[in-house]
Amino acid sequence: MRAEAGADPDVWLDKVEDAARNLTLMHGEPRPELAAKTLAELATEIRAFEDRAERISDRARLIKLTPMIVRAYAVGDVFEALGATFDKLPGDLLFTFNFAALADVWTTEFVQKRGCAPLPAGKQLLDHSTWMIGEAAKSFWRPENGTIVAAEIAQGVIVGHYLERLNERGRERKRRLEHERKAVQLPTDSLTFDADHASLALRRADVFVTLDANLGEISSKLAAGLAEKIEHKCAVVGTAAELRLALAAMKSPTK
C-alpha cells in the first residue's frame, strides 16, 4: 500500500483524506485482491510501483491532514481487532458485553455525549451488537472524545514512514531500493514490528533504543505529543552516547 501511494501520491492523498473524513467501518478483508496474490506476485508489483514512485507535491497538506488520518486508521485497527475476536462467533459478543445495559444508556451516553448514531429500530440485540461496538469505536475518531493511545502510536509510526517515502528524492530512493533488494525478498522495513515496538515502548518505557534513524525521528515526535496526553515522556535514543545521557538524566536529583 505504501508503494502504491508513492506511484501517484497526490491521488493517494485525495483518496485517503476522503476516507478519513467520511469514516466508514466495514467487515471483511479491505483488499481481497491483494490477499489472493502470492508472495512473488506482491514482490513484483511492489517493485514496479517503487520504480515509478514520485515525491508528493503538497507535503504541507499531508502534514496538516496526518493527525486525522492517523486517528481514522487507529479506529480501524481497533475495529479490526474486535472483528478478529468476534466475527467467527458473534454470539460471544453477548457473553462479553452487557448490550442490554448499553442500549439503556445509548441515547444519553453515546448519541448525546459522543455523537454516535441512534440505535437501529426494530432489531434484536444480537443483530446490532457488532454495530454498537463499531459505532462506539468510531466515536474515538473525534478528538473531543479522547484517544486510543496504543493504536494511534502504531499508526503514527506507519504514516510517518509513508511521509518519509513520499518525500524521497530519486537518488535516495535508488539507494534504498538497492539495499532492500540485496537484503530481503520483499522491500519492507518490518513496519508492523516497528509500530508495535514503538507503541509499547513510548507508553511504558523511560528510554526507547532504536538504530533505525527514521523510526527514531518519528518516535521522538510521537513521544513529545504523547507526553501531553498521558503525562509520560519516553526518551528516544539511537547511540550509546545518547543512551548514557538519557540514563544520567533519569538519575539526576532534579528528576
Please state at what angle helix 149-166 crosses helix 59-86, rounded to 10 degrees.
140
- The CA distance from 148 to 198, in Å, is 14
Cell of 17: 483524506
Average the pLDDT over 89-111 and give the result. 80
Q: How many helices (H) and strands (E) does the chain have?
A: 13, 2
Task: Please report the pLDDT score of residue 243 as a whole number.
Answer: 92
203, pLDDT greater than 80: yes
Residue 186 has pLDDT above 70, yes or no: no
Residue 241's pLDDT is what? Answer: 92
The pLDDT confidence band at residue 179, using thresholds 50, 70 and 90, is low
- In this structure, of 6-15, 77-86, 107-116, the range with the lowest mean pLDDT score is 77-86
Q: Are 190 and 161 in contact (CB under 8 A)?
A: no
Candidate from 55-69, 88-102, 103-117, 139-153 with smallest mean pLDDT: 88-102
- Confidence band for 187, pLDDT divided at 50, 70 and 90: very low
Over the stretch 210-223, which tens digit does the pLDDT of each residue have? Answer: 888 888 888 888 88
Assigned C-alpha cell, 176: 534504498
Q: How far apart are CA 3 and CA 5, in angstroms?
A: 5
pLDDT tens for 56-90 read 888 888 889 888 888 888 888 877 777 666 666 65
For range 193-219, the mean pLDDT: 85
Q: How confident is the model at residue 75, as a pLDDT? A: 83
pLDDT band at 255 (very low <50, low <70, confident <90, very high): very low
- pLDDT at site 125: 65
Q: Which three cell numbers stand for residue 62?
A: 499531508
- Average pLDDT, stretch 130-155? 80
pTM recorded for the entire structure: 0.68
